[in-house]
Amino acid sequence: MPELPEVETIKNELAPHIIGHTITGITLFDERIVRQPPVEEFGSRLIGETITEIGRRGKYLLFSLTSGQTLVIHLKMTGSLWLIPPDRFTRAVIHLDGDKKIYFRDPRKFGVMWLVEDKNTVTDKLGPEPLEEGFTAKRLSKALARRTAPIKALLCDQNVIAGIGNMYADEALFLAKIHPMRPGGSLKPAEIKRLYNAIRQVLTAAINDKGASVDTYFRPDGQIGTAHFQFRVAHRRGQSCPVCGTPLQRIPVRNRGSYFCPKCQPEV
């Protein structure tokens, strides 16, 4: 699933090509992609709108329009937005003036779109943005206090922190030397500080590398991101830990596959 670095990359790379352009039409190859409003109204309300800004909240892309409406897109597990025609799996095309197009590619057909008057109706339950100033070690500590759920599950809970998913939770926990099954409330202040720094370090590095193309993620020009080449544990089961050489393991944590080093991340 595209996580914060992938969605941030898409936002950054789409912006210079589409901001200031007007939507002239929309082609839906799968009407289930539209969550709100009804499909007929969705198209009529979009046409004629100019894109004034692109933002991101967690894993959501936010297209601000001249009327004050917001087109919200969630790529879910396998979605990506292209500026060139994809090879296949196109579910929708947003047509812009100047013969520009945004192609919504989504092999597994889970991605969705909303057109809303208030974007908060879609994003209001999200937790803090982990790279913003307001997200501090103290705020992370407060969010984890007295929580009995595994720390891996809490990091992936969008109501706790917005934007982190499997890959970057695994990478951050490895960097912080914390076992994915540790209850969130069991972390000591020093561990929380390490985890806070690790989250920010891992996400920033992944954005610099344009996201991770482990499976179905592509950038708007059809190119891949390279963040996965830097992964220390994520998707590396059976390979050697880059720190101690121990074979990396994969365990289920709340139905999510979690990769870790049993020596560097002992279950205390």
Catalytically annotated residue among 147, 193, 256, 263: 256
- 146 in catalytic set: no
Sequence-distant (≥ 6) Cβ neighbours of residue 138 within 8 angstroms: none
Catalytically annotated residue among 3, 6, 13, 49: 3
- 59 in catalytic set: yes
Q: How far apart are CA 169 and CA 206, in angstroms?
A: 12
Catalytically annotated residue among 2, 5, 130, 150: 2
Residue 159: name the closest of 179, 144, 137 by CA: 144
Task: Write the DSSP string, 113-173.
Answer: EEEES-THHHHTT----TTSTT--HHHHHHHHTT--SBHHHHHH-TTTSSS--HHHHHHHH
Q: How far apart are CA 109 and CA 111, in angstroms?
A: 6
Catalytically annotated residue among 11, 59, 91, 105: 59
| Local structure of residue 255 (DSSP, 8 states) | T
Catalytically active residues, by annotation: 2-3, 59, 256
